[in-house]
Structure 1
């Protein structure tokens, strides 16, 4: 059963009526409802196009957070073979909000690292809703070090509301861990590509996405703070999240203009959750293409290009 977002309620009513008609027909062999149900299907398809033709930034945030969007584990299981998970930061613990390990992409060895939100109540709690603690970032640092040592490209999949702000995380050096993960991204001599698959929240996302190439799914978002957090700070009112989303310029389309992201990966009409398989395959093709662009570059060139990219960030958008 589809989970509908608030702005999709009119669509839910139409698709629900079509399904009701077909359910009635299944109970009665003499009932022919396809003409009426087909008309409702066409109306729903037109409405879906209208709803997604020009999504506001806040609505894009809602789509990026949709619980049925493919998550990191889904991409790893579908795109990578021989995935061998690696756990722990060798210091404190293993953070289940961050998953990573050795794998093969198109039969080539890579290191894949990403945020995992979970897909039901139990797994979301276990994964802390994708909000990593310091040990998660230190695990990522360890895996990037390993990839650098063995000359393996690194692929990161970003989907987090932000780093976990709890007391224990702060006591164990959350900001330091994020800073060192970002520093490690900028200093490894192997290709590093990143895809924002849902939410790219704050430094928790930057710590994985300081890459040679950054791609964003069409309805993903990437920002220094959530719209609700921004609204709470600027207007002392979290209900002004729509205004905050507009001001933050957090959409893939804005961020490509600013030079923060390099390319946009198209999503199926209605968002990634409406055709998970097609979305996953599109991400796989993009990751492969980005790695191909980088494979001939020397370690020194990769590091220089990565650093130059971030030093120049924002230049494209200054005129606008």
Structure 2
């Protein structure tokens, strides 16, 4: 797919009006010496090009910045005007973006970036390119302040505009067919797959969180802003158990229950526990990450769906947990995996490092993380997502240092000793409580334990 033709690109102020019902433009920062001429490089004709761009677009620079209200959330908005020299980033652009981020920090507001840019402005050379460093620093300062950044990629979004601003946002939304990628259409290798540079291609690769049709953009921005700015107070209460109401009698019975195909999976728990959910990108189909609404407040979640978790799943989980921690949103993890993926592809993709990333995210978290074991708890692949001291187990779950069958193989025991080994591993929910691994066993709905 190619980027939309110029006639279909939405002007900055029109896009602002589509996502915010109120908008007050910020004053432009003071000009720079020589800004009205041919720029810092003395580029012939640059001054005339700027004047023509201003007349054509009605804007004095490639970004419009201000404060607005989207739904019930006030935010700072940064909107690129593509008809002003391709939305390119020059020194004045950097001035305005820095001022917008500074305003967001001073007023404790989230930032919404509405991006359409071809990258750095050629006529300002390196003075333009170093604006990416300024923008990156402002994004870091916003994160340090615990404020969210939502980017809307309406395209094209290429070069430093993608690398320094769009891709660095906490949540990344894109319009259908938008051209998104570090390499613009004129500098890509010959024969490059064009689909890799589209919103849909970036979604498939996990670099964009959602592709949103124009008609749904206002609602999507409002929902995300509300979700990211209204955290629940205190730790998440573990969900009620949705499967077997009583504990298993033996270790092997616990294993069979957890592996039963009709046992409630994490998706069922998510549907039951949350009234609304918004998900972040994850290319591992065995894991889901996002934010959900519980009793009117936001809780972050990571849910394993019963499969072996792949490196991409752990990386998505780490991203979610770090974001939740920065925004002071409590987190819920639903653990259900026979273990981490252990095939050659997983090793090449760095499964060990990805698991380490999640262990670190949980250990470093300043917000409360609550865990409910809803099925299989297989070794370190499950433990990485388990909160020390705040873990509960469903009656139809088990947790083990390793699956009983693999324990038999490692210990060189006979295959018929699997059931006995399951008992010796003390992997039942009630065993986990006695061992101090779990705080309790989740009660069925309507039952208090």
Note the alpha carbon deviations across 1:94-135, whole angstroms, 9 max, x for none.
111111111111222010111113xxxxxxxxxxxx111111
Query: Is 2:410 the counterpart of 1:233?
Result: yes
Q: How does 1:256-295 map to 2 (within 5 A)?
A: 256-266=433-443, 278=445
Equivalent position of 1:222 in the other structure: 399
Residue pair 1:102, 1:110 contacting (<8 A) in 2 also: yes
Residue pair 2:247, 2:395 contacting (<8 A) in 1 also: no
Query: Is 2:339 the counterpart of 1:168?
Result: no
Query: Is 2:380 the counterpart of 1:203?
Result: yes
> Structure 1: where are the runs of 5+ without partners?
1-51, 89-93, 118-129, 268-277, 287-320
Residue pair 1:159, 1:205 contacting (<8 A) in 2 also: yes
Equivalent position of 2:423 in the other structure: 246
Q: TM-score, normalised by structure 1?
A: 0.60
More strand per residue: 2
Residue 161 to residue 57, structure 1, CA distance change in 2 (3 Å): same
Equivalent position of 1:213 in the other structure: 390
Counterpart secondary structure, 1:193: strand
Equivalent position of 1:79 in the other structure: 273
Q: CA RMSD in A?
A: 2.1
Larger Rg: 2
Residue 84 to residue 53, structure 1, CA distance change in 2 (3 Å): closer
Query: Is 2:322 the counterpart of 1:145?
Result: yes
- 1:54 Cα shift? 6.3
- 1:53 Cα shift? 8.1
Residue 53 to residue 181, structure 1, CA distance change in 2 (3 Å): closer
Higher relative contact order, structure no. (Cα contacts within 8 Å, ≥ 6 residues apart): 1
Q: What is the rounded CA distance, in whole Å, between the counterparts of 1:188 and 1:152 in structure 2?
A: 11
The alignment of Structure 1 onto Structure 2 pairs a total of residues equal to 205
Note the alpha carbon deviations across 1:174-227, whole angstroms, 9 max, x for none.
112112211211111101000001111111111110344100012310011000
Query: Is 2:293 the counterpart of 1:104?
Result: yes
Runs of 4+ in 1 over 6 A off after TM superposition: none
Residue pair 1:192, 1:212 contacting (<8 A) in 2 also: no
Residue pair 1:155, 1:192 contacting (<8 A) in 2 also: yes
Q: TM-score, normalised by structure 2?
A: 0.44
Query: Is 2:181 the counterpart of 1:181?
Result: no
Q: What is the rounded CA distance, in whole Å, between the counterparts of 1:157 and 1:213 in structure 2?
A: 12
Residue pair 1:231, 1:239 contacting (<8 A) in 2 also: no
